[in-house]
Amino acid sequence: MKLSLLLLALILGFSNLKAQTYFPPLVGNTWSTTDPATLGWCPDSITKMYDWLELSDSKAFIVLKDGKIVLEKYFGTFTIDSFYVWNSAGKTLTAYAVGIAQHEGFLDINDPTIDYLGTGWTSLTPTQEAAITIKHQLTMTTGLDDGVSDIHCTDPSCLIYKAAPGTRWAYHNGPYTLLDSVIESATGLTLNAWVNQKISSKIGMVGTYLQLGYNNVFASKARGMARFGLLLSQDGYWNANPVLPDLTYLNAMRNSSQSLNNSYGYLTWLNGKASFMLPQSQFVFSGELCPNAPTDMYAAEGKNGQIINVVPSQGLVVVRMGANMGTSLVGTQYNDTIWQYMNRLSCTLGTTENSIEEIQLSPNPSTGTFTISDLTGIEKMEVSNQLGQIVTFQQVEKEITLNTAQAGVYFLTIHTKNNTKTFRVMRY
């Protein structure tokens, strides 16, 4: 009897905890807000962050706290009703859609992919092809060669054997995109119909998949991204209504899905791990994916800095839509800079001089040469390795080149008269 009462108390306590989260209505633009001042965030610091976001070609930026909007800013001609593509941030949406299909009995992620795509979906031998499962597609471990001329290509001729499934992590769009066909084959619905019926309609997210070349790219309003981020933070429920009530799958999705890239779950990026890998590289970097972000953050990230950050410990969802972030397939370094600004919102920290906050470094990662956006006010620079040892570098105007052949993580510290700023520099 005592055990039953204790269990009931725990259930009621969990329900009350969830009830504290605000959920916006499914239709319309009504959305409750929280004054940033109640969180101790300074207007000057918020303005500095908005200025940087605008300079870096952002289109929209939203921060939710316990479901309510704390910050919301649109840039240029972009508005609350504008649509934009998620790019690879949509991968996390796909992982969620696969989870629902499994929960409803349409598939098992341990099934061979040939059960849904048939034989011959790759150029592999029948034995090699039969070894690839849906889970391998979810974890980027199919073993298919990402060194082909077009990593987006889904034709069998583009899907070439490189390694045994589960033995090599590689950010490869082709095998990922074919998860869309797996969903359609398993459920009998088109990808748009499945996602709209099982996710979008249940959380008020208006969006659609657009076919761009080989890719199916999801597009929505910025608040649609925020709605999905809020759903991600709520263990499969939206305002007590189940969307994916499978905590086992969700926990697997937002934790290390394999031992090759600790910072990757099911099509979801993870912070707080001991090492990470990045697209288009086989190098394993030591350290956290976003050292300035909370360690429990997980994220959906896409090209040009399409970002959905979820921080369970703080009840935060952070969304950024934008463009012109270089050639990287994910905006990890850009995301880390967002958190540098987020960490300085508190009025107790004060603000820093404009110049040092606006200094950027690109490309990062690189093969060894990096460009500093602005040298104004810089009095000193130094580079150190992870042991704290000073590393020599050459500087020609805004370009610096590391004088080392060793790939890895380094730290560039820039000093101005009143402040310092440290970049985590990744060389591959």
* Annotation: CATH topology of 84-342: Beta-lactamase (3.40.710)
Residue 217: count of CB within 10 angstroms of its CB: 20
User: Which H or E run contains 17?
Assistant: helix 2-19
Q: Is the pLDDT of residue 88 over 90?
A: yes
User: C-alpha distances in angstroms, 215 versus 155, 234, 379?
Assistant: 12, 29, 46
Question: Do 84-342 and 361-427 fold alike per CATH?
Answer: no
Q: Is the pLDDT of residue 155 over 70?
A: yes
pLDDT at 12: 41
Amino acid identity, residue 315?
G
Give the Cα-Cα-Cα angle 156, 303, 408 (nearest 5 degrees): 95
pLDDT at 405: 67
CATH code 1.10.287 for 361-427: no
State residue 223 phi and psi, 5-degree precision. Answer: -70, -25
Phi-psi group of 87: left, alpha or beta (phi > 0 → left; psi -120 to 50 → alpha; rest → beta): left
Residues 6 or more apart whose Cβ sits within 8 Å of residue 403: 391, 392, 393, 394
pLDDT band for 64, please (50, 70, 90 cuts). very high
Separation CA 24–CA 245 (nearest Å) = 20
Can you tell me the mean pLDDT for 309-320? Answer: 97
Can you tell me the mean pLDDT for 102-122? Answer: 98
pLDDT band for 14, please (50, 70, 90 cuts). very low
- Within 13 Å, how many C-alpha atoms sit on residue 178's CB side? 29
pLDDT at 356: 66
Can you tell me the mean pLDDT for 93-119? Answer: 98
Alpha helices (H) in 155-256, listed in sequence order:
173-187, 191-195, 201-203, 222-232, 247-253
**pTM, full prediction:** 0.85
Q: What is the mean pLDDT of the chain?
A: 90
> Can you state the angle between helices 332-342 and 43-55, rounded to 10 degrees?
160
The secondary structure of the chain in percent helix, strand, coil, rounded to multiples of 5, reads 30, 25, 45
pLDDT at 3: 40
User: C-alpha distances in angstroms, 209 versus 191, 201, 212, 217, 253?
Assistant: 8, 15, 9, 5, 22
Show the tokens assigned to 217: 């790219």
Separation CA 287–CA 276 (nearest Å) = 7
DSSP 8-class letter at 165 = T
User: C-alpha distances in angstroms, 323 versus 209, 234, 342?
Assistant: 19, 29, 20
Domain ranges of the chain: 84-342, 361-427
State residue 284 phi and psi, 5-degree precision. Answer: -100, 110
Q: Is the pLDDT of residue 11 over 50?
A: no
Can you tell me the mean pLDDT for 284-296? Answer: 91
- Full DSSP string of 83-116: -EE-GGGHHHHHHHHHHHHHHTTS--TTSBTHHH
Phi-psi group of 68: left, alpha or beta (phi > 0 → left; psi -120 to 50 → alpha; rest → beta): beta
Phi-psi group of 172: left, alpha or beta (phi > 0 → left; psi -120 to 50 → alpha; rest → beta): beta
Is the separation of the CB atoms in 83 and 221 below 8 Å?
A: yes
pLDDT at 355: 53
Phi-psi group of 234: left, alpha or beta (phi > 0 → left; psi -120 to 50 → alpha; rest → beta): alpha
User: C-alpha distances in angstroms, 3 versus 7, 8, 10, 206?
Assistant: 6, 9, 11, 44
Percent residues over pLDDT 70 in the chain: 91
